[in-house]
Amino acid sequence: MAVKIMIVEDEPAIQKLIAVNLEQAGYMPVCANDAEAAIRCVNEALPDLILLDWMLPKMTGIEFARILRGDVRTRLIPIIMLTARADEGDKVRGLEIGADDYVTKPFSPRELIARVKAVLRRRAPEALDDTVEIDGLTFDPVNHRVAVGKDRVVLGPTEYRLLHFLMTHTERVYSRSQLLDRVWGDHVFVEERTVDVHIRRLRKALETVGKDSLIKTVRGTGYCFSADPGTI
């Protein structure tokens, strides 16, 4: 699935320029003219990243960013502030409110796309097409291939997404509810035990190449991906 990036910008020409360049880079842009419209979009489905203009009508970008960071559901969405305010104090204020990056207008589309990739790589690596290799297990999202050497691992679509998320967030423990939000999507309502079913299927598939032990169960907490044999 294409990475969804929300553009919150009230100037039509800038909004269109950003959207076109995001599409050309392989992303799926979603546009909102103000914070109120952006809130409605976020309530329907979470974007992978938000490009947020500082000077918006009614509610400023800073106020909207504060709302996002104060809500458990939206606090982890990466935010890049877009603004003509080049003063150092303004930059610091934007970063302190929780923005991941700060791009000053006017900016080149190439620079913006590079900043988007950098933030996604740091905050949401599962949204990228980078190949991941851990302990001999290779995950290639471009060719949709999971393998150990020449031995390919056959996975269902949910197990595929689950493995990609876990391999891009190694050594971190995630609860069932967190995995549901990050892999299934927070707008999909299924029972938490569904995660257990798909973890079992994933382990069974990885067992064919001797890598099932990479998926760890942390009793009373959840699951994690680790190549450390000492991890519980």
What pLDDT digit, counting tens, does each position of 68-83 carry? 999 888 888 899 998 8
More confident of the two residues 66 and 142 = 66
pLDDT-derived band at 87 (thresholds 50, 70, 90) equals low
* Per-chain mean pLDDT for the chain: 87
DSSP string, 101-129: EEEESS--HHHHHHHHHHHHHHH-GGGS-
Q: 221: helix, coil or strand?
A: coil
- What are residue 140's phi and psi, to 5 degrees? -115, 95
pLDDT-derived band at 150 (thresholds 50, 70, 90) equals very high
Give the residue among 217, 223, 124 at the shortest CA–CA distance from 172. 223
| Residue 104, pLDDT score | 86
